[in-house]
């Protein structure tokens, strides 16, 4: 039995080490005795020694990761018979002395699974511990895990989620009012809020084109053999969007040329955003007649069916996009001054109705959810009146208002109240101010895009761009709004020109959904690296990019590297371009992030001035990597001094 002998020696060595850590001495002959055991029975008996030694170690240090892991490992291998009653008695003793010991709670979950203890019993145990001490984060957490599991399985007695959640809200309310400064109950309240307000099935929240839209396409679209994007946005990440679930019918659309792909910066197979590109205006197209396209989709897991019908036609209006030398004209970001403001109505390919989440489209218990959220809002407001400035109370109230607004629009009063709450939190809790600013940004963007009346103030028709093939060319100006985060992009799928300058953005996650985007202004933000710009690699129509006066190159440590493809992680191949650049004596390895970004785009105009990374070497590299570039930092490429 050489394998068993080696195993016994290894186990005893680990046990000896654990006991030494606890301050105990181990007999020097222990290993020798272990090697003499040759039969199975004596081998299993030897494990009782290590188990008891682990107990000694835990008496000295009840939070020893190694000791707890070793004890679980011995039982998990089933090399010793488990005495579950004894294990539970030891755990009871431990949790009586240290009720918040998360090692003990983790071990209890492990033992409960081995013994096949019902989740209902364990749920009752957590409540007993909570009643004895509300400030028991481990018990609250364990209860949230058990409750979520029971509700998802619709176990006996847990089929009616509304009734169960209502009782749990009442239970945790006692903890909140007892000590509003204790975060344990607040975290459990957040778990209940997410459990009740998060839809369990995926569904389509928006699409482009939307149903019954009429789209006017420039004749240059056909001449340049461009492809037309179809976009679906979901409320959560999904997979399985393909030709089997989505059917496209049109006399000029070939089914075999359609490929659906998820828009994800990390190349995941799941995404909230899916896109397909259609080749529609081919040699068989009669240019005098509109083209009708019908799309039907049935998505797995949700059971929802989506039908889209839209019409496209070519426009032969003249495009003044080139100067006398044949270069594309410089795009100037003075849209608010020169562009035509939208008056009362938007073009008919812009839909505001599809943005609104109506209560009749929610799940059957939407009425209960609305009543429950309203009741919780009343209780939290009462608590804030009694206890005064509570950051947990204000944050919870803001979240409750947001959940309520997602079910039924609260109008301007909701936005004003929620924005004020986040303003108060920024002052009250400076340590977490960045988080509050991001949440405030989402509320503000929700307000600005919630209706046609609110959005039209920031929209205009742009007259000086030849890069977009869709007429009219629509611009959104979200400049100078102190935005720290981007959200609700599913409401902006029709945007072709986007101005996000003079904000506080460090990330542009979400912009990958804007497949019509041709001009993007991110100047005067706080973007620190090229890897933070990873989402725009998905924007194949992007022609104009303004990154001036950011912080690109000022930080030696890039915390977003792990999110992106790189030559260091072998997720992309830049060998060819690197060798080509090296052959011309251009130092490139300092800028591999920029190479990966610019190589994936077909930019005509780029503005990088005001960033620490900008120098002569970088400018030479930019021109080499992007052969389509005509304008750099506001000057024609051929007139730049370094050429």
CATH number of the domain residue 421 falls in: 1.25.40
Range(s) of the domain holding residue 363: 359-448
Looking at the structure, tell me whether residues 487 and 588 fall in a common domain: yes
Whether the bond into 129 is cis, omega within 30 of 0: no
Higher-pLDDT residue of 389 and 440 is 440
414 and 429 belong to one structural domain: yes
In this prediction, residue 568 has a pLDDT band, given cuts at 50, 70 and 90, of very low
Are 635 and 515 in a shared domain?
Answer: yes
**Same structural domain, 468 and 569:** yes
Statement: residue 393 has pLDDT above 60: yes
Do residues 441 and 487 both lie within one domain? no
Top-confidence residue, 302 or 63:
63
Given 448, 480, 508, the domain boundary residue is: 448
User: Comparing 83 with 523, which gets the higher pLDDT?
Assistant: 523
- 303 & 376 share domain: no
Q: Is the residue at 139 inside a domain?
A: yes
Q: Are residues 420 and 537 in the same domain?
A: no
The CA distance from 86 to 276, in Å, is 60
**pLDDT tens-digit map of 541-557:** 999 999 999 999 876 66
Contacts of 456 (CB under 8 A, 6+ apart): 342, 343, 344, 345, 346
Which element (helix H / strand E) includes 312? strand 305-315
In the predicted structure, residue 217 carries a pLDDT above the cut 90: no
- Domain-terminating residue out of 292, 318, 344: 318
Mean pLDDT for the stretch of residues 109-122? 93
Residue 277, H or E segment: strand 271-278
Cα–Cα distance measured from residue 563 to residue 531, given in angstroms and rounded to the nearest whole number: 8
First to last CA, the chain: 77
Q: What is the CATH number of the domain that holds 291?
A: 2.60.40
| Assigned domain for 233 exists | yes
Look at the block and give the residue holding tokens 């994800």. Answer: 264
Whether residues 470 and 550 share a domain: the answer is yes
Inform me whether the pLDDT recorded for 159 exceeds 70: yes
Position 69 in a domain? yes
Q: Is 577 in contact with 552 (CB distance < 8 Å)?
A: no
Count CB atoms within 10 A of the CB of residue 638.
10
Tokens of 21: 């850590």
* pLDDT tens, position by position, 316-346: 654 545 554 444 688 888 755 556 666 555 6
- Look at residue 421 in the predicted model and tell me its pLDDT: 97
Same domain, 259 and 129: no
| 618, pLDDT greater than 80 | yes
- 456, 476 contact by CB (below 8 A): no
Coil/strand/helix, residue 49? helix
Instruction: Kindly report the three-state secondary structure assignment for every residue of 119-179.
Output: HHHHHHHHHHHHHHCCCCHHHHHHHHHHHHHHHHHCCCCCCCHHHHHHHHHHHHHHHHHHC
Is the same domain home to 471 and 618? Answer: yes
Q: Directed axis angle between helix 137-153 and helix 119-132, to 10°?
A: 150
Confidence of residue 21 (pLDDT cuts 50, 70, 90): very low
What does the alpha-carbon distance between residue 486 and residue 498 come to, in Å, rounded to a whole number?
12
Q: Is residue 298 part of a domain?
A: yes
In angstroms, the CA 586 to CA 3 distance is: 59
pLDDT band at 36 (very low <50, low <70, confident <90, very high): very low
For 62-116, give the secondary structure using H, E and C: CCCHHHHHHHHHHHHCCCCCCCHHHHHHHHHHHHHHCCCCHHHHHHHHHHHHHHC
The alpha carbon of residue 275 and the mean position of all alpha carbons in its chain are separated, in whole angstroms, by: 18
Q: Is the pLDDT of residue 307 over 50?
A: yes
**According to the model, what pLDDT value does residue 316 have?**
60
Both 524 and 376 in one domain: the answer is no
Give the H or E element holding residue 631.
strand 631-632
Residue 179 lies in a domain: no
Higher pLDDT: 232 or 625? It is 232
Tell me the pairing of strands 474-477 and 497-499.
parallel
DSSP state of 412: H
Query: Does residue 1 register a pLDDT over 70?
Result: no
* pLDDT score at 26: 35
Residue 340: per-residue pLDDT: 62
At 463-484, the pLDDT tens digits run: 655 666 676 678 899 999 999 9
What is the tally of structural domains in the chain? 4
From residue 64, give the alpha-carbon distance in Å to each of 48, 73, 104, 349, 584: 19, 14, 11, 62, 58
Among 287, 303, 318, the domain-final residue is: 318
pLDDT of residue 51: 61
pLDDT value at residue 310: 86
Whether 173 is covered by a domain: the verdict is: no
* CATH number for position 581: 3.80.10.10
Backbone angles phi, psi at 263, to 5 degrees: -95, 100
In a domain, 508, yes or no: yes
Q: What is the mean pLDDT of the chain?
A: 79
User: Exposed (0-12), middle (13-18) or buried (19+): which is 571, by Cβ within 10 Å?
Assistant: exposed
- CB-based contact 261:540 (threshold 8 Å): no
pLDDT of residue 359: 41
Residues 595, 610: one domain? yes
Does 584 map to a domain? Answer: yes
User: Is the per-residue pLDDT at 278 higher than 50?
Assistant: yes
Higher pLDDT, 29 or 475: 475
- Residue 54: CATH number of its domain: 1.25.40.120
Write out the two tokens for 298. 């049935």
Q: Are strands 305-315 and 497-499 parallel, antiparallel or unpaired?
A: unpaired
**How far is it, in rounded angstroms, from Cα 474 to Cα 482?**
22
Confidence label for 16 from pLDDT (cuts 50, 70 and 90): very low
User: Once rounded to an integer, what is the mean pLDDT over residues 413-436?
Assistant: 95
> 161-175, 256-270, 508-522 — which is least confidently predicted?
256-270
> How many CB atoms within 10 Å of residue 133?
12
């Amino acid at each position: 039995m050489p394998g068993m002998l080696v195993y016994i020696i290894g186990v005893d060595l680990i046990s000896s080490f654990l006991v030494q850590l606890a301050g105990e001495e181990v007999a020097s002959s222990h290993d020798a005795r272990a090697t003499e055991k040759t039969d199975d029975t004596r081998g299993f008996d030897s494990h009782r020694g290590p188990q008891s030694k682990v107990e000694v170690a835990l008496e000295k240090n009840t939070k020893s990761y190694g000791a707890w892991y070793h004890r679980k490992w011995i039982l998990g291998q089933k090399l010793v018979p488990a005495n579950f009653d004894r294990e539970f008695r030891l755990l009871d003793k431990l949790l009586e002395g240290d009720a918040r010991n998360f090692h003990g709670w983790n071990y209890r979950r492990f033992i409960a699974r081995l013994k096949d203890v019902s989740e209902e019993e364990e749920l009752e145990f957590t409540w007993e511990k909570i009643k004895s001490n509300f400030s028991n984060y481990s018990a609250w957490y364990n209860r949230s895990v058990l409750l979520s599991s029971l509700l998802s399985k619709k176990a006996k007695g847990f089929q009616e989620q509304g009734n169960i959640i209502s009782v749990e809200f009442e239970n945790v309310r006692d903890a909140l009012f007892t000590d509003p400064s204790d975060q344990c109950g607040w975290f459990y309240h957040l778990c209940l809020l997410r459990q009740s307000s998060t839809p369990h099935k995926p569904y389509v929240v928006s699409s482009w084109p939307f149903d019954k839209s009429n789209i006017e396409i420039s004749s240059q679209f056909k001449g340049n053999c461009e492809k037309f994007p179809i976009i679906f946005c979901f409320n959560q990440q999904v997979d399985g969007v393909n030709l089997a679930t989505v059917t496209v019918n049109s006399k000029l659309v070939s089914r075999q040329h359609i490929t659906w792909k998820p828009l994800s910066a990390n190349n995941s197979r799941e995404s909230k955003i899916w896109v397909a590109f259609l080749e529609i205006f081919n040699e068989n197209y009669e240019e005098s007649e509109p083209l009708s396209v019908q799309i039907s989709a049935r998505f797995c897991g949700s059971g929802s069916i989506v039908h889209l019908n839209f019409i496209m036609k070519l426009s032969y209006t003249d495009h003044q996009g080139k100067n006398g030398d044949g270069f594309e004209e410089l795009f100037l970001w003075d849209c608010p001054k020169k562009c035509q403001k939208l008056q009362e109505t938007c073009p008919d390919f812009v839909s505001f109705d599809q943005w609104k989440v109506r209560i009749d489209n929610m799940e059957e218990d939407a009425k209960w959810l609305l009543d429950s959220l309203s009741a919780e809002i009343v209780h939290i407001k009462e608590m804030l009146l009694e206890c005064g400035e509570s950051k947990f109370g204000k944050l919870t109230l803001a979240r409750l208002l947001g959940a309520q607004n997602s079910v039924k629009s609260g109008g301007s009063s909701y936005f004003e109240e929620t924005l004020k709450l986040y303003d108060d939190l920024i002052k009250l809790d400076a340590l977490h101010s960045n988080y509050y600013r991001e949440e405030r940004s989402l509320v503000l963007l929700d307000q600005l895009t919630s209706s046609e009346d609110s959005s039209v103030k920031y929209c205009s028709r742009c007259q000086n761009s030849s890069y977009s093939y869709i007429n009219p060319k629509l611009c959104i100006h979200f400049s100078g709004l102190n935005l720290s985060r981007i959200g609700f992009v599913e409401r902006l799928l029709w945007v072709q020109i986007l101005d996000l300058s003079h904000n506080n953005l460090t990330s542009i996650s979400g912009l990958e959904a804007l497949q019509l985007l041709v001009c993007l202004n991110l100047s005067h933000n706080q973007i620190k690296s090229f890897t933070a710009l990873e989402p725009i690699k998905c924007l194949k129509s992007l022609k104009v990019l303004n990154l001036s006066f950011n912080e690109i190159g000022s930080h030696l440590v890039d915390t977003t590297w792990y999110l992106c493809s790189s030559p260091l992680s072998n997720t992309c191949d830049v060998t060819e371009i690197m060798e080509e650049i090296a052959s011309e004596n251009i130092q490139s390895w300092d800028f591999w992030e920029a190479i990966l970004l610019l190589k994936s785009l077909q930019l005509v105009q780029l503005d990088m001035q005001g960033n620490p990374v900008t120098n002569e070497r970088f400018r030479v590299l930019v021109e080499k990597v992007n052969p389509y570039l005509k304008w750099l930092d506001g000057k024609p490429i051929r007139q730049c001094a370094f050429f």
